[in-house]
Amino acid sequence: MDDCNNENNAILKKLIKDNDKYEKILGFLDDATNDNVTKDKIKESLESYIDGINIVSAYENRKFYEIRF
């Protein structure tokens, strides 16, 4: 299980290598409130939104490749 997590972390670091927007958002969130419960809810919501975008993108890519080949 740890190998899977390490691999996922490596992939994530590669994907966000030159993209610090997520970290900036988390920094703004830390500055905006000291309420950890609220921060966690916002982070979960943001991650859920990002996951949704990734799922839609993957679906669109799959459709594109199925049509092309």
- What confidence tens digit (pLDDT) does each residue in 17-68 have? 666 777 888 888 888 888 889 888 988 898 888 888 888 888 888 877 777 7
Q: Which pLDDT score, from 0 to 100, does residue 69 have?
A: 63
Q: Which residue type, as a one-letter code, is found at position 2?
A: D
User: Cα separation of 32 and 29, whole Å?
Assistant: 5
| Range 32-53 burial, b when 16+ CB lie within 10 A, else e | eeeeeeeeeebeeeeeeeeeee
Domain ranges of the chain: 19-68
| Full-model pTM | 0.55
